[in-house]
């Protein structure tokens, strides 16, 4: 497994260096399209509506409100808060049962990345003992995200969360209809559930469609029903992550200072549930580099921007920040970077 990036968890004044790995993968059989006549593979070109083929470097992003289109240039995006921090900032701790699984997104393993994993183990055991989840804010692929830290076996997991306004309410008229369920019907239904009850074992279930699809492909290859094609996918060069040191110094003192700060009414930077990156995001972890430029997350260059439809900031370009800071003038209020929806699963091409 190769790490996606490395950074740290900001746990009060304690810094926990970590590496991040994708915890899940898909085993779907990959297919592509070909021309039926000559069996050549079909490729896609970027063509504008006027019929001109467009190079990737000549593509700009824009927002369309249905009547007008606002073009956003690279200079426009430079005015927005930079989202390049590799710090997972703990905002608060909540009971496990208060986070609805509907909000969960992709899951990542967190590996301790220092000569001494003491701070990592301390945070893991604390979450286990208190039966809490850590609500965190982090940046991945230039996108601000909400998430939780939780424990799986002996590993800390980082699990992305949808923002609150990304969960649709279940507004169905049928649910308002009065329905009478008899005691006998409920008893019989409960009896059926009891007869089918067991312990969950994910290995008991398999994707039969994918298995049979692979068998079909293997049978065609064995029968010689294939055509010779040049290799279509190049292997991406991989680079090993640099070892990062940095033991947590005087862990007890950092914990005591964190507790004293919270008891004294110290406010959390970023705020609970805030989409801003927070002032503490510029701390030490921001110096780390991505270990995998391509990554596992399908955000790409951020061409899709569905979240812009629900944020007023996207409808009007931000004002340019002054080149020099003037102490006499108040800084403008921090703009909230628009969060993107989770990318749709890629269809087989």
Per-residue model confidence (pLDDT) at position 233: 40
Per-residue confidence (pLDDT) for residue 227, from 0 to 100: 76
Residue 120 burial by CB count (10 A; 0-12/13-18/19+): exposed, middle or buried?
Answer: buried
Q: What are phi and psi of 138, to 5 degrees?
A: -150, 170
Number of helices (H), then strands (E), belonging to the chain: the values are 5, 9
- Distances from the Cα of 169 to the Cαs of 102, 161, 184, 342, in angstroms? 12, 16, 32, 18
- The pLDDT value given to residue 256: 78
Q: Which of 315, 334, 304 is nearest to 141 (CA)?
A: 304
The region of weakest confidence among 26-30, 83-87, 172-176, 294-298 is 294-298
The pLDDT value given to residue 30: 87
Query: What secondary structure, in 3-state letters, does 89-150 show?
Result: EEEEEEEHHHCCHHHEEEEEEEEECCCCCHHHHHHHHHHHHHCEEEEEEEECCCCEEEEEEE
* Contact present, 146 and 273 (Cβ < 8 Å): yes
The more confidently predicted of residues 274 and 165 is 165
199 pLDDT above the threshold of 50 = yes
For the stretch 140-158, pLDDT in tens is 877 889 999 999 989 999 9
Q: The tokens of 165 are what?
A: 């306004």
pLDDT of residue 147: 95
Q: Which of 32-36, 237-241, 316-320, 341-345 has maximum average pLDDT? A: 32-36
**Tokens read off for 153:** 């076996």
What is the distance, to the nearest Å, from the Cα of residue 18 to the centroid of all Cα atoms in its chain? Answer: 16
Q: Calculate the average pLDDT of the chain.
A: 74
Mean pLDDT, residues 198-219 taken together: 89
Give the pLDDT of residue 83.
61
Mean pLDDT in residue range 211-233:
78
* pLDDT > 60? residue 241: no
> Is 60 exceeded by the pLDDT of residue 75?
yes
Stated as kind and residue range, the H or E segment containing 20 is strand 14-22
The mean-pLDDT minimum among 26-35, 129-138, 266-275 falls in: 266-275
Return the pLDDT at 328.
Answer: 47
Range from 2-6, 57-61, 328-332 that averages highest in pLDDT? 57-61
The answer on pLDDT for 34 being more than 60 is yes
Which carries the bigger pLDDT value, residue 2 or residue 324?
Answer: 2
Share of the chain above pLDDT 90, in %: 33
pLDDT digits (tens, 9 = 90+) for 37-68: 888 888 888 999 899 999 988 999 999 998 89
Average pLDDT of 24-31? 87
Question: Residue 207 has what pLDDT?
Answer: 87
80 pLDDT tier (thresholds 50, 70, 90): confident
Query: pTM higher than 0.85 for the full model?
Result: no
Judge whether 105 and 342 are in contact, CB under 8 Å: yes
More confident site: 101 or 86: 101
């Amino acid at each position: 497994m190769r790490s996606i990036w490395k950074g740290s968890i900001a746990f009060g004044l304690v810094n926990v260096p970590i590496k991040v790995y994708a915890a899940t993968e898909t085993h779907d059989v990959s297919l592509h399209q070909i021309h039926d006549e000559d069996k050549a593979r079909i490729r896609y070109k970027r063509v504008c509506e006027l019929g001109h083929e467009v190079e990737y470097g000549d593509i700009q992003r824009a927002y369309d409100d249905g009547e007008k289109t606002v073009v956003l240039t690279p200079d426009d995006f430079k005015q927005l808060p930079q989202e390049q921090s590799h710090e997972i900032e703990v905002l608060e701790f909540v009971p496990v049962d208060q986070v609805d699984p509907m909000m969960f997104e992709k899951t990542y393993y967190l590996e301790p990345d220092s000569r001494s994993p003491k701070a990592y183990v301390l945070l893991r055991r604390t979450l286990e003992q208190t039966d809490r989840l850590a609500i965190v804010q982090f940046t991945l692929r230039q996108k601000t995200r909400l998430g939780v830290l939780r424990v799986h076996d002996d590993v800390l997991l980082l699990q992305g969360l949808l923002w609150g306004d990304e969960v649709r309410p279940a507004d169905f008229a049928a649910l308002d209809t009065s329905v009478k369920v008899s005691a006998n019907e409920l008893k019989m239904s409960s009896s059926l559930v009891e007869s089918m009850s067991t312990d969950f074992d994910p290995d008991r279930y398999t994707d039969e469609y994918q298995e049979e699809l692979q068998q079909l492909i293997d049978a065609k290859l064995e029968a010689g029903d294939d055509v010779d094609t040049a290799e279509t996918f190049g292997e991406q060069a991989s680079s090993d992550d640099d070892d990062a040191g940095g033991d947590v110094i005087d862990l007890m003192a950092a914990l005591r200072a964190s507790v004293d700060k919270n008891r004294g009414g110290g406010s959390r930077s970023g705020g609970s549930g805030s989409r801003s990156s927070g002032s503490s995001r510029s701390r030490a972890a921001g110096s780390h580099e991505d270990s995998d430029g391509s990554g596992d997350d399908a955000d790409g260059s951020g061409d899709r921007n569905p979240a812009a439809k629900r944020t007023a900031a996207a409808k009007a370009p931000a004002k340019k920040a002054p080149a020099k800071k003037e102490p006499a003038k108040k800084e403008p209020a921090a703009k909230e970077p628009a969060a993107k929806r989770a990318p749709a699963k890629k269809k087989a091409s």
